[in-house]
Amino acid sequence: MESSSAPAALETAVTVPSSAFDVSRRPDTAGLVLNSPRPPSLREELVGVVGKAFRPRGAGTGGAGGDRRPPRFAWVLTALQAVFPVLQWGRTYTLKSFRSDVMAGLTLASLGIPQSIGYANLAKLDPQYGLYTSVVPPLIYAVMGTSREIAIGPVAVVSLLLSSMVQKVVDPAVDPVTYRTLVFTVTFLAGVFQVSFGLFRLGFLVDFLSHAAIVGFMGGAAIVIGLQQLKGLLGLSRFTNSTDVVAVAKAVFSALHDPWHPGNFFIGCSFLIFILATRFIGRKYKKLFWLSAISPLLSVILSTAAVYATKADKHGVKIIREVHAGLNPSSVKLIQLNGPYTTECAKIAIICAVIALTEAIAVGRSFATIRGYKLDGNKEMIAMGFSNVAGSLSSCYVATGSFSRTAVNFSAGARSTVSNIVMAATVFIALEFFMKLLYYTPMAVLASIILSALPGLIDIREACNIWRVDKMDFLICLGAFLGVLFGSVEIGLGVALAISFAKIIIQSLRPQVEVLGRLQGTNIFCSVRQYPVACRTPAVQVIRIDTSFLCFTNATFIKERIMEWVRAEVDTSNEKVRERVQSVVLDMSNVVNIDTSGLVGLEEIHKELASLGIQMAIASPGWQAIQKMKLAHVVDRIGEDWIFLTVGEAVEGCLTAHKGSAMEC
């Protein structure tokens, strides 16, 4: 056995008798490690990413179905189809689909009209602005978007976000005109940001909000929105502009000392119960889901009629009063790109843009997965961005995909974005002809419509799941939740982002270093902690570095952990050191990349082991890692003979070398 180095991990090699061939003839596989091609350099990778970003999608696979046209025209068509997916699906659109879409669009409108009015109220704008937002953005999205089910329009969280941030700049109660100007500017900029995210393939920005952060943030925002509705529900005149729990509780408490009119509370509560009851019925009997879809509209009609009949507005019931009728007016001149508040607006816009995209893409993806098609994140961003840019020019505020309305659209059988067009047309008709009817609509019923949409945002079951699965993620969730609740929406987001990134850095700071053992009778090496049946090899310690990036934050830590183990091993076998640990095999299969600090760390491990008389071998380093080790001459110093393709070969190689040296002694 003196000089055999049987490549034991090789299936074929098992049949090879472990007979005489000298140490220099290592398994061929070991040479593969050192002679692998050069990995793409930073520049090549960047060029690849940028090139991919600006190459039109689908150009590679050829214009689908356009093979007979001259190539130039095919390219133009492909490009047009890439920007306007309607050109693609429109050609196969059937009358049957259209019928489904009309039904879905009408159902959507019956839910969308009261919600839009309510959310406009939440955004501290007049009711018609919510309706405007349900007209233009859905039309633009319909021709540019790739999701088939999503329902575009104002949503609760973005409305809250917008009003809570813009009102810090200008108070809408004091100067509603400037407030509106700022809202449109923010909408315009948010649209521009969204388009540029899509163009520059910055879709990953949306991923910065982790699942846990979104759960916590949505829950907190829902409670804050609910608390804001106390104003409408209790018919209060004075209320706080702050969104945190403490300020709202104080405001409600002090308002209760003023005379208040229980009529508001009665109307709000009874219609809230009505809407929740219809939703319960809709959930139980799937066929009656339309009941829950039209119940908000029904509540508006019934409550308006009741107030008109009983003249309750004379007895303290707050009503909407005048609503401006007619189509969206132009707001081109209201957008201030070099006004005094532009920097503020840009800050608000970027937060709104990211949150709106996060919600839209989350909604779109979940329904796309159900239907089994793929959503193109970057195209979605461009579509959403253009919707908002167009919206900002026609008196709309930030629109995005709504959870609740998309679900209704899906249940009502929408087949394409045509349902959005139908919805927009219906809202347009309502704007043109029925606005006068809203005069007597009580504010309390709007509050109850918003309140009824909130339970969907609070996902307690998911929060429990997160707690069970990942305590650190729960901390992120809790941070976002409490931040929104007791600070503000921005603080909640900031806390969640900070904890999320701290987690990644901590993860890279303190990687695991696992001692590996062999599964008996096999050549599989695995962690002795994870698989207690694995046996450690006596003379050869196998240690796996469990990080994909051996870098400055963890190089020293890893070095110290490895040396601690080796020293402990040497100490316990004080007398016969030579017979215990003779080699250390570093399994670097997990180490994809390494930086110069990591290289220094590796060399130090090698030196310290050498000073203890222990040989170091390296098994299966990653592509970038081995390349950099070669460039930095670390391979030369460790010795090419001590780099192996698999742990099994490395252990075998070390054992052979020891036996060889033992024989020489």
Residue appearing with tokens 């609070």: 458
Q: Are strands 152-153 and 512-518 parallel, antiparallel or unpaired?
A: unpaired
- Judged by phi (left if over 0) then psi (alpha if -120 to 50, else beta), residue 307 lies in alpha
Nearer to a second copy, 231 or 544 (CB): 544
Distance of alpha carbon 178 from alpha carbon 479, whole angstroms: 34
Backbone angles phi, psi at 645, to 5 degrees: -80, -40
Pick from 567, 572, 560: nearest CA to 513: 560
Q: Are 34 and 640 in contact (CB under 8 A)?
A: yes
- Name the minimum Å distance from CB 330 to a second copy: 38
- Kindly report the backbone phi and psi dihedral angles of residue 544, in degrees, each rounded to the nearest multiple of 5, phi listed first: -105, 135
Backbone angles phi, psi at 379, to 5 degrees: -65, -40
For a second copy, which is the closer residue by CB, 31 or 538? 31
Show Cβ contacts of residue 596 under 8 Å, excluding neighbours closer than 6 positions. 632
Q: What angle do CA 397, 400, 406 make, to 5 degrees?
A: 135
| Helix 596-611, helix 555-572: angle, nearest 10 | 10
Inter-CA distances, 352 with 68, 253, 395, 536, 589, Å? 45, 31, 17, 55, 42
Give the integer Cα–Cα distance in Å for 644 and 390: 60
Nearest to 271 by CA among 233, 319, 312: 233
Q: Between residues 282 and 377, which has the closer beta carbon with respect to a second copy?
A: 377
Name the residue nearer to a second copy (CB basis): 19 or 35: 35
Q: Which is nearer to a second copy, 15 or 19 (CB)?
A: 15
Q: Which positions ≥6 away from 560 have C-beta within 8 Å?
A: none
Closest separation in Å from C-beta 439 to a second copy: 47
| Distance separating alpha carbons of residues 130 and 119, to the nearest angstrom | 6
User: What's the per-residue H, E or C state across 353-389?
Assistant: HHHHHHHHHHHHHHHHHHHCCCCCHHHHHHHHHHHHH
CB-nearer residue toward a second copy: 254 or 369: 369
Which H helix or E strand runs over 289? helix 289-310
Nearer to a second copy, 3 or 378 (CB): 378
Quote the distance between the C-alpha of residue 176 and its chain's center. Answer: 34
Phi, psi at 23, each rounded to 5°: -55, -35
Minimum gap (Å) between residue 521 Cβ and a second copy: 5
SS3 content of the chain, % helix, strand, coil (to 5): 65, 5, 30
Compute the least distance from the CB of residue 468 to a second copy, in Å: 6
Distances (CA, A) of 83 to 143, 212, 379, 391, 397: 9, 33, 8, 18, 23
Q: How far is the CB of 405 from a second copy (least distance, A)?
A: 23
Count of positions (residues) in the chain = 665
424 vs 609, beta carbon nearer a second copy: 609
Q: Min. distance of Cβ 68 from a second copy in angstroms?
A: 18
- Considering the complex, state which of residue 242 and residue 624 has its C-beta at the smaller distance from a second copy: 624
* Least distance CB 149 / a second copy (angstroms): 16
CB of 220 to a second copy, least distance (A): 17
Single-letter residue type at 267: I
Least Å distance, CB 459 to a second copy, is 12
Tokens of 570: 């040497």
Q: Which residue has the tokens 């816009």?
A: 349
> Which is closer to a second copy, CB of 318 or CB of 628?
628
CA dist., res. 534 & res. 527, Å (int): 7
CB-wise, 17 or 37, nearer to a second copy? Answer: 37
Cβ atoms < 10 Å from Cβ of 48: 11
For the bound state, the minimum distance from the C-beta of residue 99 to a second copy, rounded and expressed in Å, comes to: 26
Q: Which is nearer to a second copy, 287 or 374 (CB)?
A: 374
Distance of closest approach, residue 495 Cβ to a second copy, in angstroms: 15
Closest approach of Cβ 41 to a second copy, in Å?
7
207 or 579: CB nearest a second copy: 207
**Which residue carries 């009629």 as its tokens?**
305
CA distances from 635 to 236, 350, 606, 616 (A): 75, 47, 11, 12
**In the complex, least distance from residue 7 CB atom to a second copy, rounded to whole angstroms:** 8
Nearer to a second copy, 309 or 504 (CB): 504
* Nearest distance, CB of residue 363 and a second copy, angstroms: 14
581 by DSSP, 3-state: which? coil
Rounded least distance, CB 373 to a second copy, Å: 9
Strand partners of residue 101: none
Tokens 């699906």 belong to: 89
Min dist CB 147 to a second copy, Å, is 16
- CB closer to a second copy out of 7 and 296: 7
Select 427 or 586, whichever has its Cβ closest to a second copy. 586
**Cα(first)–Cα(last) distance of the chain, in Å?**
16
